Structure 1
Amino acid sequence: MSQSSSDQPEGFWRAFWAARSNQGSLRTGRSFDLGKMSLPHLWMAYLTYPTILLYFALILVSSAIAIACGPRFGTTLIAVLLVIGIYPFAWYAIHRFILHGRWLYRNPVTASLWKRVHFDHHQDPHLLDVLFGSPLNTIPTIAIIVMPIGWAIDGVSTAFAALATGLVMTCIYEFFHCIQHLAYKPRWKWVARIKQLHVLHHFHDEDGNYGITNYAADRLFGSFYREARARPRSAHVFDLGYDLEEARRYPWVMNRTGAPPKQRPDGARRNG
């Protein structure tokens, strides 16, 4: 792929600041359309997005509390490293067994939660607003997973150090998740590879490649696949099993959507 001017440092920053003037043309309704965005546009959207700004603020607050509580370098480092190591496995478990589970949409109380946190994303993977989870869901989940780890190591200070680390990991995951749905061919081989694997999850077979930046859990638990020819294409890659038959039996998601589940996202139709 030839190197465009936006890949050069000066061209990138010109495009970055120019993105401020035409953000409206990148929107579909209220959502940014990653299928139309360049990398500078993504940086502008990401660094100004309210959810990401909230994460940044909470990282600073958590770090300040950790420091105020008198951290010890050794125990803090252990907590940080443990969170970094555990995070991809926690994400895998949530993604595979909760977000791709069918029990949430079969309950009228949790159907709207499932629609918001994952169904909408698979229905149209290009929309930035539904790619980011709601902070009301993500922040308590992060805290529940990582703070007990930090607390068990050295109390309050390492608990908040663990929370700050979990939030940093979330920001990193969210950015690379955006890259994986962006109309952009990464020049870094590792990023290109994880993007290819995630695209397979969204457009070939959803029952695999649950990781974002790290596929160790997929390899360990047998859900990893390298290429499309490794397995047949899933009939539920866009609807996650919530097809017309399921929608008739459990109508709560369809009622909130206002339409039957789509078998192909709008972005895929538009981009052929």
Structure 2
Amino acid sequence: MNSATARTGFWSQSHHLDRMTLRELAVAYLQYPAIILYLGLAAAGAGLWFVFPATIGRSLLAIATAVLLFPVVWYGLHRWVLHSRWMWKVSFLAATWKRIHYDHHQDPNHLEVLFGSPANVIPTVMVATIPVGYAIGGVGGAAAAFATGMVQTCVNEFFHCIQHLSYKPKNRWLAHIKTRHMEHHFHDETGNFGITNYWWDHLLGTYYARVAGRPKSPTVFNLGYTDEVARDHPRVRELSAATTARGRPRG
């Protein structure tokens, strides 16, 4: 069996992180088509920098800016887009919202819907990194910032996977971010929007570390898309029914 066939066979089955080891996750992660694509785009960005190089100082500034922007952009998108209650009301956006976040909260440990869709991820990274990189260092700065954004996306996705993996990390920081993310998924989805850091949750008042005094959210799994909402805006429910009928598609 060649590697292409192995990858196809591997991803033809469903993967649940609560039933996987760290080693199994690493194998699945490195074979996942979107991750391969993201790493390829990061390499392409690095290659473009060599063709149109910016100065080392400007390149490092573009990279540092991309690193600092990543958690800001992620927080904003996670809180005000992925957890919005307006996307399901627009028919052509309902499918996107379902794919990129509703399905993940419905089944948090399902690997195929944990990864973001490249059709959404890549344009977002481009918009967040290329303009600021270009302003700092021209084409070379834009290439450096974009490559950084794609690498950060891969790192973010890997730690996101680890947070859903069924094991208790020994590393204190990893245990911390895993606990906060599990609280977001299983206790109250209106807080702890970060993945690898919670700076912006602290700053904007959405961080919480103790669930004892915080009531469990009734919408932690459906994100507010209740049966009552579905009667007025049925698109997500229709798509969910169709997905169930034919089996969950790969992400």
TM-score, reference length from structure 1: 0.84
1:127 to 96, 100, 110: 110
Equivalent residues, number: 238
Partner of 1:75: 58
Give the letter for the 1:202 counterpart.
H
Partner of 2:190: 207
Partner of 1:262: none
Partner of 2:212: 229
The CA deviation at 1:30 is 4.1
1:257-272 to structure 2, matched below 5 A, reads 257-258=240-241
Runs of 4+ in 1 over 3 A off after TM superposition: none
Give the letter for the 2:72 counterpart.
F
Maintained 8 Å contact 1:197/1:227: no
Partner of 2:225: 242
Partner of 2:151: 168
Partner of 1:252: 235
Give the letter for the 1:225 counterpart.
Y
- CA distance in 1 between counterparts of 2:240 and 2:219 reads 18
2:49 to 66, 78, 84: 66
- CA distance in 2 between counterparts of 1:230 and 1:37 reads 32
1:115-143 deviations in whole A, cap 9, x for unaligned? 00000000000111100011011000100
| SS of equivalent residue, structure 1 residue 228 | coil
The CA deviation at 1:31 is 2.8
Partner of 1:149: 132
Maintained 8 Å contact 2:53/2:139: no
Give the stretch that moved more between structures: 90-99 or 221-230.
221-230
Higher relative contact order (CA closer than 8 Å, sequence separation 6+): 2
- CA distance in 2 between counterparts of 1:124 and 1:85 reads 30
Find out whether 1:36 has 2:57 as its counterpart: no
- CA distance in 2 between counterparts of 1:107 and 1:60 reads 36
The CA deviation at 1:230 is 3.8
TM-score, reference length from structure 2: 0.91
1:45-102 deviations in whole A, cap 9, x for unaligned? 0111111001111111110001210221000000111111111011000000000001
1:198-247 deviations in whole A, cap 9, x for unaligned? 00000000000000001000000000000212411000000000011111
**Unaligned runs of at least 5 residues, structure 1:** 1-19, 260-272
- CA distance in 1 between counterparts of 2:230 and 2:53 reads 53
- CA distance in 2 between counterparts of 1:46 and 1:127 reads 13
| SS of equivalent residue, structure 1 residue 77 | helix
Measured on the aligned residues, the alpha-carbon RMSD in Å equals 1.9
| Identity value in percent | 47
